[in-house]
Amino acid sequence: MKEKIQHLLSLCKELNKYAHKLTAEDLQSGNPEEQLDLQAVQQITEEVKARLERGCQPIENKVILHTGPHHDDIMLGLMPLINRQLRPVSNEVYFNVMTSGYHSVSNSFMHDALADTLRFLDDGRIEMVRYPDFFTGGYLLKYDKDVHHYLDNVAKKDTQGMRRGLCHRILRDMVGIWKTRNVEETRAVLLREMENLSAKTPVETPEMDRLKGLEREFEEELVWAYMGVPGRNVRHLHLGLYGRQEEQFTPDLQSDVLPILEQLRLINPDIISVVMDTGGLRPDTHYKVLLSVAAALKLRHEEADLSHVRIFAYRNVWSTFHPADANMYVPVSLNAFAVIEKAFATSYLSQYKAEFPNPNFDGPFSELAETIWVKQLRDIQFLLGKDFFYQNKSALIRATHGMLFLNEYSVEEFLQIIHNQYLITTPSRQ
C-alpha cells in the first residue's frame, strides 16, 4: 500500500488533479509496473480515509505521556492533538522533556532578562524577597504562582506584567543556583553575570548554563498551563546525553535510560509519544532521545505487560513523514492554529527568534509547523478531494485546515522498528 499511495499522490500532483477525477487514461501514464487502475485508486482512498478516521477518534480514560528531546518539540509536533486530549477530564496527561536545552538560549536574551530582573528588584517590584525566609527556602515555593501570574498578564495584554512574571522566576532560580543569602548578594551576581554576558567573549559557566536551562523549563510550563496542566505534570529529566560527544551513540543506562524508565514506572502510561527522526538529521539530540526512550521501553517491557500501550511516533519542523509513511492523520483546525501562534509567541520567549533557526524557514518555529500542516493537508486533499472536507458530516473534518502525520504502534512493533533501523543495543541493568 505504501508504494501505491506514493505513486497515486505523485500522479495527482503531476497532473494537478484530485484522485477521484482521474480517468483510466490518466492512470496509464508513467512506468507500467507502477500503473494503477480505478479499483486500486478506490482502495487507496479508502485506506487514506481509514487513517484519517484513526486520527479523529476521541481519546478518553487514558494516561498519556508525551516525550520531547527539547522544550518546544512536543508542542511543534503534537499540540493540536494534545489540545483534544486535555479536554476530557478522564485523561491524565504528562510531559517529559529529556534535555536542558540551554544551548538554544542566547547570551543577549539572558542579558536583557537579567537587566529587567535588576530593574524590577531595584524598583521594589519583586516583593517576595521581603519575606524573612525567602533566601533560606521560601524561594522554592509558589513556582506555579509565577506561571499563573505570567498568564494573567498575557490575558491582560500587559507586556510589563509578563516581563515581571519572567523575572520573578529568574530571581528564584538565581537564588537556588548561586545560593545568595540576601538582596545585596543577588544584585552583585546580577551585575557580574550581565557584565560577562555582554563581554566580547563571554565566559561560559555551569551556573549560567543551568539558568538558561531553567528558563527553558519555565517556558515549557507556561505553554501547557495555557490548557490548565499543573507544573508537577511537566517534568524535566536532564538526560546525560545532552552535549555528550561520541562517535557512535549508545544510551547510557544510568544517565540516559533509567530516568525515563522511572517515569514509565511512576506514570504507567497507556499512550506514549516520541519523536521519530532518523539518525544524522539535525538536531541529533532527537536521534539520541529516540534510542534512549526505546531502551527504557525495552526494559519496562521485560518487567510489565505493555500489550495495551500505544506509541505515537511524531515529527515536527526538522523532518516530516510522507503520507504513505504515516498510519494516522490528525486534522488541525484554525482554532488550533490560533492557539499555537499565541502560545508560542508568549511562552517560548527565548525561541521566538531562535538561536538555531531552521535553514529552510525564516520565522518562528510555530509558523513553520503551520506551513508543514497546511502542506500535509494539501497532500490528503489530492487523494480525497477538497469537497470531502467541506461537505463532510463531521464538524471536526469540516473545520480541517491542516494535518498532522503520525504513526501509531504497539510497543513490540515500535521496538522492532527501532531494532531493524538502528540496531539498538539495550544497556545492561548491571
Domain carrying residue 28? 2-51
Residue 76 in domain: yes
Does residue 316 belong to any structural domain of this protein?
Answer: yes
Angle formed by the axes of helices 365-384 and 334-347, nearest 10°: 160
Tell me the DSSP string of 294-339. HHHHHHHHHHS--TT-EEEEE--SS----GGG-SEEEEEEHHHHHH
Query: Which whole number is the average pLDDT over 72-97?
Result: 96
Max alpha carbon distance in the chain (Å)?
A: 83
Mean pLDDT of 353-366: 65
Q: Do 276 and 384 fall within a single domain? A: yes
What confidence score (pLDDT) does residue 104 get? 85
Question: Is the pLDDT score of 284 beyond 60?
Answer: yes
Amino acid at 127: E
pLDDT at 248: 79
pLDDT value at 86 more than 80? yes
Residue 317 lies in a domain: yes
Burial group, residue 409, by CB count within 10 angstroms (0-12, 13-18, 19+)? buried
For 231-267, what is each residue's pLDDT tens digit?
999 999 999 988 777 777 889 999 999 999 999 999 9
Q: What is the mean pLDDT of the chain?
A: 91
pTM confidence score: 0.92
Indicate the pLDDT class of residue 1, thresholds 50, 70 and 90: confident
Share of the chain above pLDDT 70, in %: 92
Distance in angstroms (rounded) separating the CA atoms of residues 374 and 403: 7
**Rounded to the nearest 5°, which phi and psi values hold at 114?**
-70, -40
pLDDT tens digits, one per residue of 338-351: 999 999 999 998 88
Q: Give the pLDDT band of residue 384 (cuts 50, 70, 90).
A: very high
**Quick one: pLDDT band at residue 198, thresholds 50, 70, 90?**
very high
Q: How confident is the model at residue 425 (pLDDT cuts 50, 70, 90)?
A: low
> Residue 219 domain-assigned?
no
Distance of CA 212 to the CA centre of its chain: 18
Residue 35 has pLDDT above 90, yes or no: no
Same domain, 319 and 386: yes
Binned at pLDDT 50, 70 and 90, residue 310 comes out as very high
Same domain membership, residue 318 and residue 258: yes
What's the Cα-to-Cα distance from 394 to each of 41, 57, 103, 147, 400, rounded to whole Å? Answer: 23, 12, 44, 36, 10
Percent residues over pLDDT 90 in the chain: 78
- For residues 36 and 130, membership in a common domain is answered with no
Q: In what order do the strands lie in the sheet with 310-314?
A: 234-236, 92-97, 63-68, 271-275, 310-314, 400-410, 328-333
DSSP assignment letter at 136: G
Residues 66 and 23 reside in one and the same domain: no
Q: Are residues 265 and 131 in the same domain?
A: no
Would you say residue 129 has pLDDT above 60?
yes
* Residue 430 falls inside a structural domain: no
pLDDT, mean of residues 422-429 = 56
**More confident call, 204 vs 278:** 204
Tell whether the model's pLDDT for residue 14 goes beyond 70.
Answer: yes
pLDDT at 67 exceeding the cut of 60: yes
Say how many domains are in the chain. 3
Q: Residue 233's CB: how many other CB atoms inside 10 A?
A: 17
Beta-strand relationship, 310-314 and 328-333 = unpaired
145 and 183 part of one domain: yes
Q: Is the peptide bond before 427 cis (omega within 30 degrees of 0)?
A: no
Residue after which a domain boundary falls, among 167, 192, 209: 209
Flag whether pLDDT at 59 surpasses 90.
Answer: yes
In a domain, 273, yes or no: yes
User: Measured between alpha carbons, how far is 247 from 278 in angstroms, rounded to an integer?
Assistant: 16
Identity at 18, one-letter amino acid code: Y
State the pLDDT at residue 422. Answer: 65
3-class DSSP state of 356: coil
- Residue 161 above 90 pLDDT? yes
Residue 282 confidence (pLDDT) above 80: no
Res. 360: pLDDT tops 70: no
pLDDT score of 407 more than 90? yes
Pairing mode of beta strands 328-333, 400-410:
antiparallel
Position 34 pLDDT exceeds 90: no
265 and 406 part of one domain: yes
> Is there a single domain that holds both residue 174 and residue 279?
no
Give the span between the Cα atoms of 232 and 221, in whole angstroms: 9
Do residues 246 and 371 share a domain?
A: yes
State the Cα–Cα distance between residues 383 and 73, nearest whole angstrom. Answer: 29
Kindly give, in sequence order, each residue whose CB lies less than 8 Å from that of residue 344, ignoring residues fewer than 6 positions away: 72, 75, 223, 351, 352, 364, 365, 366
Q: Residue 76 CB: number of other CB atoms within 10 A? A: 25
Rounded mean pLDDT, 384-395? 96
d(CA 148, CA 228): 10
**pLDDT of 314 higher than 70:** yes
Q: Which of 193, 209, 225 is the last residue of a domain?
A: 209
User: Does 270 reside within a domain?
Assistant: yes
DSSP string of 234-258?
EEE---TTTT---SS----IIIIIH
State the SS3 of 181-229: CCHHHHHHHHHHHHHHHCCCCCCCCHHHHHHHHHHHHHHHHHHHHCCCC
Question: What would the mean pLDDT of 207-236 be, rounded to a whole number?
Answer: 95
Q: What is the pLDDT of residue 183?
A: 96
